[in-house]
Structure 1
Amino acid sequence: MKDKVKVAINGYGVIGKRVADAVQLQDDMELAGVCDVVSDWRIKMAAHKNYPVFAFDSASQDQMSKGGIQVEGTLEDLLGKCDIVVDCTPKKIASQNIEKYKAAGLKFIVQGGEKHETTGHSFSAENNYDTALGLDATRVVSCNTTSIVRTLTSLKRAGLLKKARGTLLRRATDPWESHLNGIINTLVPEPEIPSHQGPDAQSVDPELDVITAAVKVPETLSHLHYWNVQLTREATREEVLEAFGNSSRIALIDYQDGLSANNAVKELMLSLNRPYGDMYEVAVWQDMLKVVGDELFYAYLVDNQAIVIPETIDAIRALTGIEENAQASIQKTNAALGVQKGTFI
């Protein structure tokens, strides 16, 4: 077997901690360490899990040490111990870090908060894994964009997709920051149509005819999408469900099964013993899905904290070349994370 790829995580927040846990579950990867600037409970959890902890710089290292955290060194030290870096720092921070990665001769992955131009390649495993093979860098697109590319790619591969128009109801903030940010008793529409998710999906697949509109809503659990798709021909509901079923990262839920709201679906994930109650799949309401002639209408939920985790694991394999076959990597990742195909229950 090939040597394990040594993975460094820079930024141990909402995404970083999940990527670190996911790396630990892969038999072809090794966690070289996690890095951050904070010295509070978040990085202390990394130490509690016996993950090697590194500080971004000497000032951060001093603060961590004062907080009783065993620190292995700084980011510079961590970069000398890894093959690839997954940058999970806050929006616009990663673009300031990439020169460090380049200087160390390392491959790197950034998240969807960064612009496509940061890496020149945007990644979604079921769509363009092959184009990422051997690249020095890629960007795993955002949670909403990931869901858009997954669902539309399924329809496209079935020869059903002509054009898609979607409305996104976006969560206001991450749950753990609800007391700091967010909105109450109001809705905030994005000021431009298309909203940024449509053009972002086209950074993965320029052939997609997709336009999105988005509204920020006062909740934190997930995003909700409504889609109106013009198909290439008249089709049946069964054909559409079969197309979605060909994706191993789209799962079906039923409104009539009591899964009528995002909090109920979150409770389902907790009942399934998912770490953090995470849902890696796009959850499509199959009993709401309707086809009228050549028009398709459907709705789904997106777990903004979890959906990009399997994509990031696959991106690591693609960039490092430890698995050249997209389906082989996807299946390996899905098995390790417990990603389900079809229905959850």
Structure 2
Amino acid sequence: MLDMLDFLRQEGVSEKIIKEIEHFRAQWPAAEALRRRVPEPRYLYYGKDIWEEAATALLCGENLLLVGPKATGKNVLSENLAAAFGRPSWDVSFYINTDAATLLGTDTFADGAVKLRKGPIYQCAETGGFGILDEINMAKNESLAVLHATLDFRRCIDMPGYDRIQLHDAARFIATMNYGYAGTRELNEALASRFVVLDMPAITTEGLVKLLRREFADLRPAYADQFAGLFQDIQKKCDGGELSTKPLDLRGLVAAVRLMHTGLEGNRALALGLVNKSFDDFEKQLVTDVIRTRLPQTLTYGDVFA
């Protein structure tokens, strides 16, 4: 299993911050029953400055709001933070019908009695977990108002008909949000004020090369550079308004390389992972042209992998 603190040292994160994380982990070790909830990240977030800012905020007891466009690694960083701090995590996916019962819990009938079925926010509060609030601006602001006392200095949950509970000292909440997705809305100011906001930058070429080389150990360095450059080319086209953000898909790029690794011809794999994410024929051709400037017409396993 990867030691996240060793990874942070490799990234050049301040030794003082790493020592504080070690102290946090020693002070609040995860309960044995919850160890299965401590993430073991498949992907790593590369970026010293973002790591230092995010870790320092959590060490200070703040909650984090990760804001940024598509493919900036918000969910990867959230999972990595929970792993680095050694905390069990609960993922909460927000949508239009998210309400207080979804987040905090609801009454249920069990063993001949009415009992509380605890929601993910309640469980985080009780156990000192990290709550990852995914796409927080997808939910209605009215339903999120129940979190105000949980996220501010009061750090408590008042459940009608049940006891008031104080949050465990190790409990933290990390929210993510994108602008411009269908179904999103402006985040209520009262809720936003309960987070420190981290504006996530686009992944760098160096970080993307590291990600690809870690995921595919036999990927030839020249092609790791070309795939990273291809992603950056698409990013520039999106920033310039020539393309929509549909083909700007980091998951799609990694999936395409994985398809190549399994044996699919390279350009067919890239079509599945990137080109076909657009549903406009003209945009598909533009993405194909970008690929052609970087990669040959035919691309086999032996070309890409050692």
TM-score (norm 1): 0.28
Give the structure with the larger strand fraction.
Answer: 1
Q: Which has the larger radius of gyration?
A: 2
By percentage of residues, which structure has more helix?
Answer: 2
Q: TM-score, normalised by structure 2?
A: 0.30
